[in-house]
Amino acid sequence: MNFTRVYAIVLRHIFLTMHQLERFADMFLFPIFGLLLWGFVSVYIGLNSAGLAAFLMGGMILWVVFERVSTAVGVDFMFDIWEQNLMNVLASPITILEYIGGLVVVAIVKVVVSFLVMLAIAGIFYNFHITTLGVSLVLLWFNLVLFATVLGIFNIAIILRWGHTVGPLTWILPFFLQPFTAVFYPVDILPNVLQKIAWFLPITHVFEGMRFAMTSGKFDSEEFFTGLFFNLVYFVFTVLFFAYMFNLVKRKGTLVKL
């Protein structure tokens, strides 16, 4: 792993973000408007149940972390295809690991900015402070970002293979998962079959863990490790899947035709 080359990818996206207004929108507008919407829903619900209101706000904020990271990894990759620049990057000494590493770093940096904006808005307008979760929050983040990365790598793999016609999956896939991941409600609400599906998704355990921490003030290590376990399993499978696809497109000669 050569960190200068990873930094080159970060630099490329710093410049891109400075020039592209919509890249800024990704970072600020989506989180702000999302939070405003759920903020008011929470205020309304909070009239009856302060606890439930907090669940909704917390769920919303953590969901954005997951959704933004996974989408950014795929979309930033597609920028190199759209700008017909991928071939020049691949011809350089960079390894595919460094390249994807760079994309993940960019996604995390961007989501930290979004997160801080959301913290400020939630704190100022709704008097909601997710930071009271303390260390738990860091561990919840860890599982969120890891699964988002897994999804991002999966997306890059299928784009490598089927081109950017499958690109939209990058921003659709997180929302396909959303109903099962118990972002805004406890898993118990789901029908039995769906609960089983939910259990296999690492971030379900993040949102369950968040609600537990909010009500009890304690960290649910069982939820954390269950999430982490599935994360690691998916991570290994996705990396293998990616390696297979990357090898395949080099053999088929389609990598240079993206």
Ligand X SMILES: Nc1ncnc2c1ncn2[C@@H]1O[C@H](COP(=O)(O)OP(=O)(O)OP(=O)(O)O)[C@@H](O)[C@H]1O
Contact partner, 257, from another protein, ligand X, none, Cβ < 5-8 Å per class: ligand X
Count of residues near ligand X by CB under 6 A: 4
In the block, tokens 């400020």 appear at: 120
Give the nearest distance from C-beta 31 to another protein in angstroms. Answer: 23
In the region spanning residues 218 to 247, those forming contacts with another protein, defined by CB under 8 A, are 247
Residues 6 or more apart whose CB falls under 8 angstroms from that of 124 comprise none
Query: Applying CB under 6 A, does 257 fall inside the site for ligand X?
Result: yes
Tokens representing residue 69 in the block: 């990271």
- Say if residues 130 and 58 touch (Cβ distance below 8 Å): yes
Spatial CA neighbour of 68 closest among 126, 153, 145, 176: 145
Query: Applying CB under 8 A, does 15 fall inside the site for another protein?
Result: yes
- Say if residues 66 and 148 touch (Cβ distance below 8 Å): yes
Query: Applying CB under 6 A, does 254 fall inside the site for ligand X?
Result: yes
Following CA atoms 185, 187, 191, 195 in sequence, which dihedral angle do they give, to the nearest 10 degrees? 140
Q: Which one of the spans 85-93, 133-141, 147-155, 222-230 is the region binding another protein (CB under 8 A)?
A: 85-93
Give the nearest distance from C-beta 150 to another protein in angstroms. Answer: 25
In the block, tokens 């702000």 appear at: 32
- Residue 7 or 235: the one with the smaller Cβ distance to another protein is 7
- Residue 48 or 84: the one with the smaller Cβ distance to another protein is 84
Round the CA-based radius of gyration of the chain to a whole number and report it.
19
In the region spanning residues 214 to 253, those forming contacts with ligand X, defined by CB under 6 A, are 252-253
Site residues (CB under 6 A) for ligand X? Answer: 252-254, 257
